[in-house]
Structure formats: structure tokens, C-alpha cells
Homo-oligomer: A and B are copies of this chain.
Amino acid sequence: MTPVTDQATGESAGAAFQPLPPTATIGILGGGQLGRMLALAAARLGFDACILTPEEQAPASRVAASCLVAAYDDPVALAEFAARCRVATFEFENVPARVVDRLRAAGVRMAPGPLALATAQDRIAEKTFFRAVGVDCAPFAEIAAAAHIPEALARLGAPALLKTRREGYDGKGQSWVRAPGDADAAFAAIGAAPAILEGRVDFVRELSVIAARGWSGEIAAYPLAENTHENGVLRRSVAPARVSDATAAQALDIASRLLVGLDYVGVMGVELFEMADGRLLVNEIAPRVHNTGHWTLDACQVDQFEQHIRAIAGWPLGPTRPFARAEMTNLLGDEADAWAVYAADPQARLWLYGKAEATPGRKMGHVNRLTGALPE
């Protein structure tokens, strides 16, 4: 797949782009914790953030210079957003494509761009893209109806994981298929929506790489993180993961293929499966800052949030070498009620997202621990 250049606007990595000057406004679609930490990073560099979110009093809005509370496709809000922001980004991958199109038509430079968004929004498009750029992933089959499942299962082997093509996250919209007879129940469980069936991957570890690409085409990646999920939700990341140089090089090669293939600008999260033979398969990509990169907030001079702001603003990417080993633990639901314990622990670096309601499993904050120095 060749890097895509938007002929209409000339928007492409490699295209000339004057760096966005401080005091300019950066738009962020979405008001959650990722938007919040992006807004904080933008502020550090002297930028104003403008948040567009349907949520009143969203975590990101409470640290931003301005906020528009409206549906993402509200035309009046989008026009105002476009009037304020020369550059905009998003903190979640389910932004409707028509919203991005409308903003670009209004002259807003969107980063990442529409191709990255479209690819990440559809698991079939995503895996097709992986193959096109020579990146390995689990075997898969497109499932439009329950009746497609038995044949696909026979080809992929049982058990296999049925996922909605679109809009699943944190383990939602997924169901295991162990036998052909499970087809109807599994398809119903995911809402009888267009789906993908993925062959089970017998991985050794879950890793991820957080990488960035600038408008100039410059690429920088943080060291890999090793991740533990519980019930489909990230529990813990340890970084840098202890991996061989070959594995690190393989991950960087994968990230580079993905970034270049999507003509990507910004930070991308790439979830990887490490196989027993050392091969890395891509699980999925997130076209945004990523939970498995939160460790960079306390272990790197330039964290993933500042890196994303730098990339989309046309600034040079920052250094990615950590100064310490780190362990990041998510605080889910009422786990954040123990904030006083973390506050009293001199080893714990606490981040809270300002969410009032601690519903079960909701990401309320995280704790970073520095676990040792890295050799110079």
C-alpha cells in the first residue's frame, strides 16, 4: 500500500507544514481521560485546547481553554470548532468519518487523517491493511451472518473469537466460538452485527509499541511495554518490556510499516502478540494515544501525550528514551477510592481523571511506579 496523499488539500506527511505556533488552538474530539491528558500536554507547550464532546463537564473539558458541548456531527458546533482550531485530533477512534470530512472541508488539518480513522474503525479493513503492508496478524474471516461462522471456524480452527467489525473496545462486542453449534448464540451475543472471526493466537505475551510520526515523515517509538489484560480491559503495563534486540527491531519495523502505510501523523498504539518463536503479530491498532503508553508520563522526558501534540502541531518529535523502568496499573471503578493510599506511597505516581461517577470497570485513573534505573 502506497502512502496516501490527499490531492485536494496537499495534506500528507512530507508535505510542507509550518509548525503551529504556541497560543494557537488545538482541537480535540472527545472529552475523556485521553483528551484530558492531551489538553494538559498542549498547555505545557503554550497551546490552547478546544474540546468537542457531547458530555457536560467531561474530564478533558475541565482542563481546556474552551469546550463545545454538542453531538459530534452537530453542524453549528463543527463550524465553531473549525473556526477556532487550525489543527485537530481525536481521543477515540469511533469519531464518525463524516465529522472528519466536514472539518477537513472547513480547512482544519486533521491528524491522524481519515485513512487511519477508517482503517481503525473496521476490523476487516484493518486486517486487510496489515496484510497489504506485510505485517502479520491472526488469521481471520469476514462474517456477515451467523451462517458464515461454521465454515470460517473450520478454516481458522476452534476456538475462534467473534468480534463486531466496528465499535468494539475493552473486550465489548466479542464472543468466543468453540464449536459450529455456537454460531447463532455467538452472533446474537455480539448484537448480530457485521463481524470478523479471528483464529485463536497462542501467544506468549501481550506487548505494545507506542510510536509517532510527524508531518515531515519523522518516526519515533518508545520501548515496548508488556501488558496484562483482565476481562478484556488493560490492567497493567510494564516498560520497557524485557525483549531481545531482534524483537525490538521487529516491533519498530511493524510500527513503521503501519505509520507509513497510513500516511499517519500523530501517536499510534500498536497491540502485539509475541509468539513462542519470537514472531510478533499485530492484534490491533489504536489511532491515538493509548492506555499502554501511560507509563511514559512519569518515566520519559517527553510522554506520549506531548509527543502526539508535537507530531500534529508539526513540531519535531521528542526523545523517547525512558530514564527509568516503570509499571502502570489502571485504577478501575472503585479502586480509585484508595487514592489516599497511593497519595501516601512515595513510590506511586498517581493520575486521576476527575470523574465523579465510579461505575464498575470504569477507568478512573492510573498509578505509575518507577521500578529502577535504566543503564545510561
Contact = CB atoms under 8 A, between A and B. Distances in A.
28 contacts: A22-B336, A22-B352, A22-B354, A22-B365, A23-B354, A23-B355, A40-B40, A43-B62, A43-B63, A44-B352, A45-B343, A45-B350, A46-B339, A46-B352, A46-B353, A46-B365, A47-B354, A48-B62, A48-B354, A63-B64, A65-B354, A315-B340, A315-B344, A316-B343, A319-B346, A323-B323, A373-B373, A373-B376
Interface in A292-309: 298, 301-302
A356 to B, nearest CB: 5
A135 interface: no
Contacts of A21: 339
Contacts of A373: 373, 376
A69 to B, nearest CB: 14
Q: Name the residue in A46, A339, A343 with the highest tally of chain B Cβ atoms < 10 Å from its Cβ.
A: A46
Interface residues of A, number: 45
Nearest to A19: B340
A293 B91 CA distance: 33
B301 A315 contact: no
Contacts of A350: 44-45
Q: Name the residue in A23, A44, A336 with the highest tally of chain B Cβ atoms < 10 Å from its Cβ.
A: A44
Nearest to A357: B23
Contacts of A22: 336, 339, 352, 354, 365
A79 to B, nearest CB: 22
Given A40-B63, A43-B354, A65-B62, A19 B301 contact: no
A36 B43 CA distance: 9
A234 to B, nearest CB: 19
Given A340-B19, A354-B22, A40 B36 contact: no
Q: Name the residue in A21, A310, A350 with the highest tally of chain B Cβ atoms < 10 Å from its Cβ.
A: A350
Contacts of A45: 343, 350-352
Nearest to A47: B354
A346 B318 contact: yes
A26 B298 CA distance: 24
Contacts of A370: 301
Contacts of A346: 318-319
Contacts of A298: 301
A343 B356 contact: no
A349 interface: yes
